[in-house]
């Protein structure tokens, strides 16, 4: 049944890794005549089916999925390109009389769609090079302290150890004379033209961590070792190499540690990643939280989301 509203609706179903978004999304999409658009920065890569937990074939056969397995893993991909291509998918889906349903755990992708993205000038390589040299020479703490003076609002949103984003904020200020926070307020996002419904799945931390551990074990049974071995024969892009499992297994292949240690590292890093995802989503007060209990199944969760939508 399609949703009836004065403005076209776009739904976001986000949440931490391994919480079960994919199956719930397919069930919901079937009920509301939706098509799914991935909101995951790693699932965009081809040949990384297992390591990025791409939706299984049975799900993709039931409902059209977009923005999955499009880019070779040796190519870089960025938020600007994602937004441009996702907007095209939205237009095509709405034209068919269907509802766009974004599913994933990449908070930055959610942000640039909902809030928009400011028009960036070409990167001044001299400014970036100088800032990188300062970070190497004096440490990132000095750059972060400078950012706090220039743009305290941005500094609150950027972790002191996130050198890449600290440098980006500083180079924008040096290149434009405006803070990145002020430029971001000039953005125009989807909320201007669409009725946005944003849901985040969550559950008690011990249960989530248990699911993460089970997910990692399942990935190994599915053939993760062979997939990553094949990937590492290529020169992976900086972004695709961030997929949890690539670097952990590289250490195993290089004889630095055994397979059990590689698994333990994957589980630990996935738990840390889930924690970062939840921290990001908690900052967005527009999100409706759907807290899972012990009796929830994909069917009951779909019913709960259905009630929230109608």
Spatial separation of the C-alpha atoms in residues 143 and 138, rounded to whole Å:
9
- Between 68-82, 117-131, 198-212, 261-275, the lowest mean confidence (pLDDT) is in 117-131
| Same domain, yes or no: 176 and 110 | no
**Which pLDDT does position 128 carry in this prediction?**
86
Q: Within a domain: residue 3? A: no
DSSP label at 45? B
**Which pLDDT does position 4 carry in this prediction?**
53
| Same domain, yes or no: 44 and 160 | no
| Same domain, yes or no: 236 and 106 | yes
* Residues 104/199, Cβ–Cβ less than 8 Å: no
- Between 5-9, 32-36, 178-182, 231-235, the lowest mean confidence (pLDDT) is in 5-9
* Residues 115/189, Cβ–Cβ less than 8 Å: yes
| Total of domains in the chain | 2
Spatial separation of the C-alpha atoms in residues 52 and 55, rounded to whole Å:
9
| Same domain, yes or no: 137 and 208 | no
* Average pLDDT score, the chain: 93
| Same domain, yes or no: 180 and 141 | yes
Spatial separation of the C-alpha atoms in residues 133 and 93, rounded to whole Å:
46
| Same domain, yes or no: 205 and 305 | yes
* Residues 191/114, Cβ–Cβ less than 8 Å: yes
| Same domain, yes or no: 160 and 218 | no
Q: Within a domain: residue 284? A: yes
Q: pLDDT of 238-282, one tens digit each?
A: 999 999 999 999 999 999 999 999 999 999 999 999 999 999 999
| Same domain, yes or no: 242 and 109 | yes
Q: Within a domain: residue 4? A: no
Asked if the model's pLDDT at residue 1 lies above 70, the reply is no
CATH code of the domain in which 218 resides: 3.40.50.300
Q: Within a domain: residue 2? A: no
Q: Report the percent of the chain where pLDDT is more than 70.
A: 96
| Same domain, yes or no: 226 and 160 | no
| Same domain, yes or no: 88 and 36 | yes
* Residues 73/101, Cβ–Cβ less than 8 Å: no
- Between 16-30, 160-174, 249-263, the lowest mean confidence (pLDDT) is in 160-174
| Same domain, yes or no: 78 and 150 | no
Range of the domain at 151: 125-184
CATH code of the domain in which 146 resides: 1.10.20.140
**Which pLDDT does position 208 carry in this prediction?**
97
Q: Average pLDDT of 188-209?
A: 94
| Same domain, yes or no: 288 and 226 | yes
Cα 269 to its chain centre, rounded Å, is 15
Q: Within a domain: residue 137? A: yes
**Higher per-residue pLDDT: 138 or 171:** 171
**Which three-class secondary structure state does DSSP give residue 38?**
strand
DSSP label at 274? H
Q: Within a domain: residue 216? A: yes
Spatial separation of the C-alpha atoms in residues 95 and 90, rounded to whole Å:
8
């Amino acid at each position: 049944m399609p949703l009836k509203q004065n403005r076209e609706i776009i739904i976001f179903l986000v949440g931490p890794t391994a919480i079960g978004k994919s199956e719930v999304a397919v069930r919901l999409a079937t009920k509301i005549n939706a098509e799914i658009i991935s909101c995951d920065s790693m699932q965009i890569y081809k040949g990384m089916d297992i390591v990025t937990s791409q939706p299984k074939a049975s799900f993709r056969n039931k409902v059209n999925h977009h923005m999955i397995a499009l880019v070779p893993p040796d190519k870089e991909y960025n938020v600007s390109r994602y937004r441009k291509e996702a907007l095209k998918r939205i237009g095509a889906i709405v034209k068919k009389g269907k509802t766009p349903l974004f599913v994933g755990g990449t908070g930055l992708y959610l942000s640039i769609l909902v809030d928009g993205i400011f028009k960036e000038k070409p990167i001044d390589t001299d400014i970036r090079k100088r800032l990188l040299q300062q970070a190497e020479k004096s440490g990132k703490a000095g750059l972060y302290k400078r950012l706090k003076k220039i743009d305290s609002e941005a500094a609150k949103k950027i972790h002191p150890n996130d050198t890449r984003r600290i440098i980006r904020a500083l180079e924008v200020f040096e290149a434009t004379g405006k803070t990145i926070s002020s430029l971001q307020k000039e953005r125009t996002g989807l909320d201007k033209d669409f009725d946005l419904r944003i849901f985040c799945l969550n559950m008690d931390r011990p249960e989530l961590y248990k699911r993460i551990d089970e997910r990692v074990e399942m990935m190994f049974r599915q053939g993760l070792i062979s997939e990553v071995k094949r990937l590492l024969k290529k020169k992976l892009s900086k972004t695709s190499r961030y997929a949890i499992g690539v670097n952990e297994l590289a250490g195993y292949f290089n004889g630095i540690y055994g397979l059990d240690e590689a698994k333990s590292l994957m589980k630990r890093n996935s738990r840390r990643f889930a924690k970062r995802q939840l921290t990001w989503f908690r900052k967005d007060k527009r999100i409706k939280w759907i807290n899972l209990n012990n009796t929830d199944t994909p069917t009951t969760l779909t019913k709960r989301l259905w009630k929230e939508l109608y």
